[in-house]
């Protein structure tokens, strides 16, 4: 669980909720892989995915609001060169709290990856696409 500064408490709560809904989906996916064809798990996963989408949508909406009202400062997209051979930044620049400089973590979903052909992978394994009979 990430700790957030006092200026971004509400964002921290929503971040935790989005992260928890994602982890719940991972747990359900793992159970589905162990017991393929389980209709109850499929329904549970569908509800979990809906919750995950809702929580990440709420998080993104609040992030946008906090950027617009100036609470979160976005990094500059233009590099500033002060010497002919500048030292690279040790860490990538991230959004931060305007009041205290707290670096806002990025919510990432590394277990899922979309291939160039549109196929989805879960933990490196291709997810089967549903057939017309399953839809």
In this structure, what token pair is assigned to residue 21? 């809904």
pLDDT in tens, the chain (135 residues): 578 999 999 999 999 999 999 999 999 989 988 888 888 988 898 899 999 999 999 999 999 999 999 999 998 754 545 545 555 555 447 899 999 999 999 888 888 888 888 788 888 887 765 544 444
Q: How buried is residue 25: exposed, middle or buried, by Cβ count under 10 Å (0-12/13-18/19+)? A: buried
Length of the chain equals: 135
Exposure string for 47-85, b = 16+ CB within 10 A, e = fewer: ebbebbeebbeebeebbeebeeeebbeeeeeeeeeeeee
pTM for the structure as a whole: 0.76
Helix and strand element counts for the chain (H, E)? 2, 5
């Amino acid at each position: 669980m990430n700790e957030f500064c006092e200026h971004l408490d509400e964002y921290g709560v929503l971040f935790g909720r989005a992260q928890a809904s994602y982890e719940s989906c991972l747990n359900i996916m793992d159970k589905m892989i162990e017991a393929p064809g389980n209709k109850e798990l499929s329904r549970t996963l569908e509800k979990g995915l809906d919750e995950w989408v809702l929580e990440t949508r709420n998080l993104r909406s609040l992030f946008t609001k906090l950027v617009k009202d100036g609470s979160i400062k976005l990094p500059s997209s233009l590099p500033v060169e002060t010497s002919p051979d500048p030292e690279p930044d040790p860490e990538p620049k991230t959004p931060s709290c305007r009041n205290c400089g707290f670096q806002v973590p990025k919510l990432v979903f590394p277990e899922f990856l979309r291939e160039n052909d549109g196929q989805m992978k879960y933990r490196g394994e291709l997810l089967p696409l549903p057939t017309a009979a399953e839809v």
